[in-house]
Amino acid sequence: MSTESSVEKPPQRVAIKGASLRLGEGEEALEGSRCPDCGDTFYPPRTVCLSCYHEGLDRVTLSRRGTLHTFTIARMSLPGAFVKAPYVIAQVQLPEGVIIPTVLDDVDPDSVQIGMQLEMVVEKAKSDAEGNDVMAFKFRPLKGDAR
């Protein structure tokens, strides 16, 4: 690749720091870890199993769908955050048994209810200093959910 073409290349998509988010067309997903000994699953991924202390866990792809464990509507913004109030902070329970801290997207805050069905979405959060698209995940009400 010449220097010239790399200058003109489209922005790369990179996952936001502090999230175990796998990017890739059509296969965006959160990655957790699963203990090969006892089967317990964790997010964010870790090295040592919290249930049986086995060291060296397997990477697993987590479900894109879950249910709302709990939430709040933030009415003031956290300094430095790019998500601005009002917004819904949520804990989403996945079928694997892990709970994911996140924010909700595409939702009327006043309609949010514990137990509602959600699905993960990946969106551009911001551009970084190199011009890359920094991608973050959120959850939104599952399309077709009666609610």
Partner 1 sequence: MSSRVVVLGVGLHPFGRHPDKSIGEMARVAGLAALKDAGVEYKDVQAGFCAHVNQGVGAGLRTFGQLGMTGIPVTNIELACASSSRAAMLSADAIANGLYDIVMVIGVEKMQRGLLEGVGGKEFGYNDAMGINLMPAIYAMWAQRHMHVHGTKHEHFAKVSEKAHRNGALNPNAQYQKAISLEDVLASRMIADPITLYECSPTTDGASAVILASEAAARKHTNAPVFLDTWVGGTPEYHRGEADQAEGPNAVLAQRAYEAAGLGPEDVDVCQVHDAFSPGEVFLAEELGFCPEGEGGPFVWEGNTEIDGRIPINTDGGLLSRGHPIGATGGAMITELTTQLRGQAGQRQVPDAKTALLHNAGIGGVNVMVLKR
- Shorter beta-carbon distance to partner 1: residue 114 or 131: 114
Q: Which of residues 34-73 bind partner 1 (CB under 8 A)?
A: 40, 50-51, 69-73
Q: CB neighbours (10 Å) of residue 67?
A: 14
Shortest Cβ 47–partner 1 spacing (Å): 14
Q: Is 101 in the site for partner 1 (CB under 8 A)?
A: yes
Q: Which stretch binds partner 1 (CB under 8 A): 4-12, 55-63, 85-93, 139-147?
A: 85-93
Q: Which stretch binds partner 1 (CB under 8 A): 3-11, 16-24, 56-64, 139-147?
A: 16-24
- Shorter beta-carbon distance to partner 1: residue 59 or 85: 85
**Which residue carries 């137990």 as its tokens?**
115
**Residue 5 parent element (H or E):** helix 3-8
Q: Which two tokens stand for residue 2?
A: 């010449």
Count CA within 13 A, CB hemisphere, residue 118.
33
Count CA within 13 A, CB hemisphere, residue 113.
8
